[in-house]
Amino acid sequence: MLRRASLFAIGLPLAALTAAAALPQKKAAPKKPAAAPTAQKAATVSAGAFERDVLPLVQKYCVGCHTGPNGSGGINLSGEKNFAAVLKGRVSWDRVSAAVLEKRMPPSGSPAPTDPERKKLGNTLESLFSQADCQLNDPGRVTMRRLNRAEYNNTLRDLLGVDLHLADSFPNDDVGYGFDNIGDVLSLSPLLMEKYLGAAEKAARAAIVAPEDKLRAVKFTAAQLKGPGSVTGEGYLLSSNGEAGTEFDFPAPGEYTIVVRAGATAAGPDIDLPNKKRGPDPAKMAINVGGKPVRIVAVITGPSNPQDYRTTVAIEQPGKQKLGAAFLNDFYDEKLPPERRDRNLYVESVAVQIPDDVQKMMIKRELPFSHRKIVTDTPENATDAEWDRAAKAVLVPLAHRAFRRPVTDPEVQRLIGLSRLAKNQKQSFERGIQIALQGILVSPSFLFRPEPDAKPDDPTARRQLTDHELATRLSYFLWSSMPDDELLGLADQKKLQNPAVLLAQAKRLLKDPRSRALADNFAGQWLQLRKVGVVQPDTARFPAFTEPLRQAMRTEAELFFTGVVQEDRSILEFLDSDYTYLNETLAKHYGNPTVKGDEFRRVPLLSGQRGGVLSMASVLTLTSNPGRTSPVKRGKWVLENLLGTPPPPPPPNVPALDAPGKPIEAENLRKRLEIHRANPACANCHTQMDAIGLAMENYDAVGKWRTDDGGKPIDVSGTLPDGSKFDGPKDLKKVLLAKKGQFTKAMTERLLTYALGRGVERTDKCNLEVMAKSVEAKGYKFSSMVEAVITSQPFRERRGDESGKK
C-alpha cells in the first residue's frame, strides 16, 4: 500500500513513468543535423575547391569501380558534380577521404594517386566538410536520460549514506556507441518500474530506522556457520560429532530465545520413539550458548523437512558469545541397510530473537549514520503543524539533493502529505519520512536527468544549460553520481556558468576517490575491460589462467587508468609507459619474480615487453580466442579503441580461420591470414588489422610473453598501408605514438560520447578538432582532455529535436 501511495500522493501516477518508457529500445543511429537549407548555406564555403581539387582525381582514380548503384562497396561516386551534392552523400565521402589518406584505396594493382594527390584529395574533402560543419554551429540533441545501474547505485550511496547495490538486480542496461549511459537506448520497461518501487522501499528502510522496524531477530544461515562439517543444499552437514556455530554480540542483558532449524537422518537398530513407534535412533542435538548446552533435543524429522527447536536463555552481561548446534550421537555401521546405516545432522540456520525492551534500547543507541544525517528533527506527540514543520525541515534538503535542483513549493507540499500518511495511521514520524523518501526515489526528477526545453521539437531552439544542469552533467560524467554539496551550492549561487569555476570543480572532482567511477564505467567500456570477467580461455591449453589471475588482470588496468586520472598524467601513457601495477599473481604471469604478496603496487618496467594498455594481460586475453591468439581481434581492437577507425562489418559467409578445437600455430596462422587477405573483399580492412595483430604474437592467448610457438620462432614483423614498418610490440607502440594526434582525437571523441550520453554527430567534428589541439597544446594531460570536454559547446548547450516536426 505504501508503494502505490508514494507514487500517487506525490503526484506521480504510473503514467508519468510509463511515458518515459517510450524511449527507444535499441541502439539508435546518430541523428543527422537538421535541415537542407542549412546544408545549402554550408555548401557555399566550397568556392569551387571541390570541382578544382577533388573531382578530377575522383574521376581519374575512383569512378572506374565506384559507379552507379552497384558500385564497389556500395559506393557511387559518379553522380556528384559539386559540393552541395557531395554533402547529401556525406557518409560515403567520409569513407572515401579516410581510405585515400590511409592508402587503403585504390586497391593494390590499380592505378593509384601520388602522395601529393592523396594529400590534396583527402585534405580538401576534410577541410570542406569541417567548414560546412562549423557553420552549422550545432550543439546537438541529447535524449533525456534515466540513471543507469551504476549511476543509480552510486546516487543512492551518496544521497543516503548507505551502499546497498540495489540496482544489481535490475535488468541490464542496453549499450549504444559502446557505452551504457546513452539516452537513446536507456529504455524503461514495466519490469524496471517494478524494480524501482521495490528498491525505493528497501532503500528507505535501510537509511532510516523507524520504531516499527525493530530488529526482532538475527539469523545465521548455514553458509555463515563454522565447524568441522560442510555446507550442502539441505543445511550445514555434521557427519560426525561436532558443533556448527557462530558468534553473536548480545547488546544488553535480557531473556533471549535461540532458534535452531534442523533436520537429521536417523540410524541404528530399532528403539521405542516418542511417537509410540519403533525405528532407528534419531540424532541428538545440543543448543549451545557460551560453549555450554542449554537444551538437548532429539531431531526426528529428515533434512528435507527441517523443524525449529527453541530454548530461552538469560544473558546477564552484554558482549560476544559463541552459540550453535552440536551433534552428540554420531553413528555409522556399514552392515546395516542403507536407510539406517548413517546418522547425520543438518543445521539449516541458527537465530537469536531479541527481547522487546532490548529492541527499543538498540533503536535509540544504534541509529545508523544515514538516519542521523537525514532525520534532523524527531517530534513526539506532535500537532499537525509541528509535524509538517519538522517534515519540511527534513524533506526539503533531502529532495534538493535527490532532484539535483531546488524543489518547488507544490513538490514540498506533496512530500509533506506523504509523510502525513503515517501520522494518519498513528505511526511514527520516522515512518512518515520513510514513506516520503520512497516518493522521492520513484520521482522522474530522481530517476531521470531532465533538461527541459521550451521548444523541444524545434532544432533551431538552442540554449545554454542551467547551472544545475551543468552540475549534474559534470558529476555524472566524472563520478557517475549526483553533485555533492559544494558543487550543488555553486549551482544554487549560479556560479557554474563561469568557465574558471566549472574547471576548478572538475579538477576537484577528478582528485576525489569517487572519480574511480571513470575507471569502472568509462575505461571499463572504452577498453572493454568489463569483458575480462566473462572471457573463458581454454584452461587445458593455458593452465596458468585462474580466477585470481583474471581479477588481477582487470585490477591492473583499472589502477593504471585511475592513476593517470588522479595524478593528471599524460594520456600517451595509455600507448606506452615505463610502469604498471602488479601483485604477486600478475607479476609471476609477467615473469617478474620480485613482487610478493596480494597487494598491488606501482612497478617500474625495464624489459620493454610491457608498457601501456596494449601489452596488459587483460586486453590481450579479451582479444583472443579461447584456444589461441587472434591477430584479427587484436588489430581490430587497436583500430577501434586507440585510433578511432573501426573497420566495417565483415562480408557475409566469410569462413572461420580455424575449425573449433583445432587451434592454428603462429606460423600457420600468418599463412592463413595471407590467404584470407587475397580475397579482395577482405584485403581492404585486414591489411591493417592483421599487421597490427601479428605484431602482438609475442603474447599468448592469456597475455604471457613468448618467443616461439610450438618450438618455432614467431614472426612479429609487419607494415601498415601508410608504409610504417615495425618488428614486434615495442616497435608497434612507437608507430602508434607517431600517430598520437589521431589517438588524441579518438580518445577525445570517446570521452565526449560518454560525457554527453549520445553518439558523436558530424557537426561535433569541428569541436573535436579544437578539443584535440587543446589537449596537445597542454601536454596531453588527462585534465586537459576533461577541460576540453566540459568547456565545449556540446557539453554546455543543447537544442531541440527535429524528429517532432511534421
Spans of all domains in the chain: 36-136, 217-357, 520-738, 744-804
Of 740, 801, 803, nearest to 772 (Cα)? 740
User: Distance (Å, rounded) from C-alpha 34 to C-alpha 40?
Assistant: 12
Give the pLDDT band (50/70/90) at residue 365: low
Give the pLDDT band (50/70/90) at residue 44: very low
Summarize pLDDT for 384-400 with one digit per residue, the tens: 999 999 999 999 999 99
Query: 93: which 3 cell numbers?
Result: 565521402
Phi, psi of 50 (to 5 degrees): -65, -50
- Largest interatomic CA distance in the chain: 109
Say if residue 637's pLDDT is above 50: yes
Least confident segment among 68-82, 442-456, 576-590: 68-82
Say if residue 5's pLDDT is above 90: no
Query: 594: which 3 cell numbers?
Result: 620480485
Please state, rounded to an integer, the average pLDDT across all residues of the chain. 88
- Which residues 6+ apart lie within 8 Å of 364 measured at CB? none
pLDDT greater at residue 141 or residue 679: 141
Give the pLDDT band (50/70/90) at residue 25: very low
Summarize pLDDT for 481-525 with one digit per residue, the tens: 999 999 999 999 999 999 999 999 999 999 999 999 999 999 999
Of 537, 530, 692, 540, nearest to 628 (Cα)? 537
> Quick one: pLDDT at residue 251?
87
Summarize pLDDT for 238-253 with one digit per residue, the tens: 999 999 999 999 988 9
Say if residue 123's pLDDT is above 60: yes
Mean pLDDT within 563-573: 98
Mean pLDDT within 13-30: 40
In 3-state terms, what secondary structure has residue 288? strand
User: Distance (Å, rounded) from C-alpha 489 to C-alpha 505?
Assistant: 12
What dotted CATH number matches 217-357? 2.60.120.260
Say if residue 11's pLDDT is above 60: no
Mean pLDDT within 180-198: 96
User: Distance (Å, rounded) from C-alpha 286 to C-alpha 291?
Assistant: 10
Of 237, 263, 267, nearest to 338 (Cα)? 267
User: Distance (Å, rounded) from C-alpha 801 to C-alpha 141?
Assistant: 6
- Which residues 6+ apart lie within 8 Å of 555 measured at CB? 581, 583, 586, 600
> Quick one: pLDDT at residue 666?
55
136 and 33 Cβ atoms separated by less than 8 Å = yes
> Quick one: pLDDT at residue 70?
78
> Quick one: pLDDT at residue 652?
67
Of 574, 529, 570, 573, nearest to 552 (Cα)? 529
User: Distance (Å, rounded) from C-alpha 96 to C-alpha 74?
Assistant: 12
Q: Is the dihedral of CA 157, 163, 164, 168 positive or negative?
A: positive
Of 246, 346, 252, 328, nearest to 289 (Cα)? 246
- Which residues 6+ apart lie within 8 Å of 102 measured at CB? 645, 688, 721, 722
Of 148, 58, 15, 55, nearest to 480 (Cα)? 148
Phi-psi group of 728: left, alpha or beta (phi > 0 → left; psi -120 to 50 → alpha; rest → beta): left
> Quick one: pLDDT at residue 99?
83
Least confident segment among 443-452, 784-793, 794-803: 794-803
> Quick one: pLDDT at residue 275?
63
> Quick one: pLDDT at residue 274?
66
> Quick one: pLDDT at residue 207?
95
User: Distance (Å, rounded) from C-alpha 389 to C-alpha 336?
Assistant: 76
Size of the chain in residues: 806
- Which residues 6+ apart lie within 8 Å of 21 measured at CB? 187, 188, 189, 190, 193
Summarize pLDDT for 774-793 with one digit per residue, the tens: 999 999 999 999 999 999 99
* CA-angle at 452, arms to 451 and 457, nearest 5°: 120
User: Distance (Å, rounded) from C-alpha 783 to C-alpha 510?
Assistant: 8
Give the pLDDT band (50/70/90) at residue 309: very high
Q: What percent of the chain has pLDDT over 90?
A: 65
Give the pLDDT band (50/70/90) at residue 18: very low
Say if residue 802's pLDDT is above 80: no
Question: How buried is residue 586: exposed, middle or buried, by Cβ count under 10 Å (0-12/13-18/19+)?
Answer: buried
- Which residues 6+ apart lie within 8 Å of 323 measured at CB? 245, 246, 247, 248, 258, 287, 288, 289, 290, 350, 352
Summarize pLDDT for 647-682 with one digit per residue, the tens: 877 766 666 665 555 555 555 777 777 766 666 657
Alpha carbon distances (Å) from 707 to 667, 696, 699:
12, 11, 8
Alpha carbon distances (Å) from 712 to 56, 96, 257, 665, 667:
51, 41, 72, 9, 8
pLDDT greater at residue 26 or residue 400: 400
Say if residue 284's pLDDT is above 90: yes
Say if residue 443's pLDDT is above 50: yes
Query: 29: which 3 cell numbers?
Result: 543511429
Mean pLDDT within 394-418: 98
Phi, psi of 16 (to 5 degrees): -65, -40
Side chain identity, residue 98? A
Query: 213: which 3 cell numbers?
Result: 522496524
Least confident segment among 4-13, 176-185, 516-525: 4-13
The pTM is what?
0.76
